[in-house]
Structure 1
Amino acid sequence: MKQFVVYYRVSTRRQGDSGLGLDAQRRDIDLYLDTYAEVPFEVIGEFTDMKSGKDDDRPELWKAIDLAEKTGATLLVAKLDRLSRKVAFIANVMDRKRLDLKVSSMPHADKFQLHIYAALAEQEREFISLRTKQALAPLKGTGKLGGNRGNIDKANEAARTTADAHAAKVMDTIKPLRDAGRTLQQIANTLNRSGVTTARGGKWYPTTVKNVLARV
């Protein structure tokens, strides 16, 4: 059976608490597993760091890598920048001979292609940063640098409300199965066979069942 170790990274505590950063990554992970993974498969571990992409101190990442190498599982991330925004850091991870790495958003890319993409993405970020600084320079001191934090907060709250409502609804099915000792995979299989979808209209996996249990 094909095994995966999933790694997530959110940049800030606010992103982690809101769930939006993680939700997007979980969506991409689920899409990869549903579309590209060999069947049957098993997710044997999930790890999450709350660190900036520029921070090399990633205790959960190294735990994920260690588990993947010990078991022969594939390390799966939603996007390459979840590993790091530094080319050197990414190269160091990909140089590990015993590590098999897959990126959901680039399902067919090999390590060489991922390395090239990381280098190009770093150049693009540097250019965008320079362009943004030049665009904002004339506005300094004019009082026109305000943001749309209010709208973002409202969107975050709406997303949380929707997710909470769906979780409460499916718990009527999940809780009895969990109380009966069913595994997360067995619960996911039951929900899929019953035609119950996730909050995003997708299929259930152990990770999505776990997320609902944690939310409720």
Structure 2
Amino acid sequence: MKRYVVYRRVSTEEQSKSRLGLDAQDRDISLFLENFSEGPFEIVAEFEDHLSGKHDDRPQLAAALELVRKTGAELLVSKLDRLSRKVSLIAALMDDPKVRLRVASMPNADKFQLHIYAALAEQEREFISARTKAALAEAKAKGKKLGGLRDKTMKRNAVIQANAKARAEKVAKTVQPLRSQGASLREIADALNTSGVPTARGGKWQASQVKRVLERLEVAS
């Protein structure tokens, strides 16, 4: 029998209380178990951290890994960044002969593919950080007041994100159950259109818009 130790992570207690990020992880894990896992299977235990993926010191992850090593079960996470945002930690786990990792959203990925994905994701984050620093340095060189500009930009972005989150939560009761039942993005969009639910601009739903709503509901960190 296939055995799994499930690990989930959100960055803050607020995300834990809202359940949005955790519910999204639950859906990914359920879809994997129903459609990609060898059967029969057993969930040995479930662990959950409320800490940033930048931190290596996560007590629940440590407990999950200890159980994996003792039982021979596979560590199951919804997405690779729920495990860690550091390629070094992911690589170390992959080199551990007593740890077997499965990623629900990448059900057929092998160790090599997961390692490459983690490395590319980390490289992208480093580039975004460098690009932001370069833009701020350029603005400063031109005499712009970075503090005021940054504050206004942050406030504007916060309002945009809050509005987008509010709109996503309005359709959550329709979108999330359908997705958990295996409905495609196109099928969910059709269901919203049939129900007469308009988009933010009053138009028709497209699969890409449903995808963004699901991503917002997931509250990825």
TM-score, normalised with respect to structure 2 = 0.67
Structure 2: 5+ residue stretches without partners: 182-221
- Residue type of the alignment partner of 1:3: R
Higher relative contact order (CA 8 A, sep 6+): 2
Tell me whether 1:54 sits opposite 2:77 in the alignment: no
Alpha-carbon distance between aligned partners in 2 of 1:158 and 1:22, rounded to the nearest angstrom: 19
Q: Which residues in structure 2 correspond to 1:56-95 (within 5 Å)?
A: 56-95=56-95
For 2:32, the equivalent position in structure 1 comes to 32
Structure-2 separation of matches of 1:202 and 1:13:
24
**1:147 aligned onto 2:156:** yes
In structure 2, relative to structure 1, the CA distance for the partners of 1:99 and 1:20 (3 Å cut) is same
Name the CA distance, whole Å, in 1 between partners of 2:58 and 2:130.
28
What are the ranges of 5 or more consecutive residues in structure 1 without an aligned counterpart? 167-197, 204-216
Residue 131 of structure 1: how far off its partner (Å) = 2.2
- Counterpart-to-counterpart distance in 2, 1:151 and 1:23: 23
Distance 1:147 1:22 in 2: 27
Distance 1:43 1:200, change over 3 A: farther
CA distance 1:84–1:38, shift in 2 (3 Å): same
User: Does the CA-based 8 Å contact 1:53-1:84 persist in structure 2?
Assistant: yes
Aligned pair count reads 172
Q: For each residue in 1:60-117, what CA deviation from the matched residue of structure 2 results, as whole angstroms up to 9, or x when unmatched? A: 1111112122222111011111111111111111111021111112111112221222
Distance 2:114 2:123 in 1: 14
Q: Give deviations 1:5-41, integer Å, cap 9, x for gaps.
A: 1101111222222212212211211111121011221
Q: Distance in 1 between matches of 2:116 and 2:179?
A: 34
Distance 2:18 2:135 in 1: 30
Provide TM-score, normalisation by structure 1.
0.68
Q: Secondary structure at the match of 1:144?
A: helix
What's the counterpart of residue 101 of structure 1? 101
Q: Percent identity?
A: 57
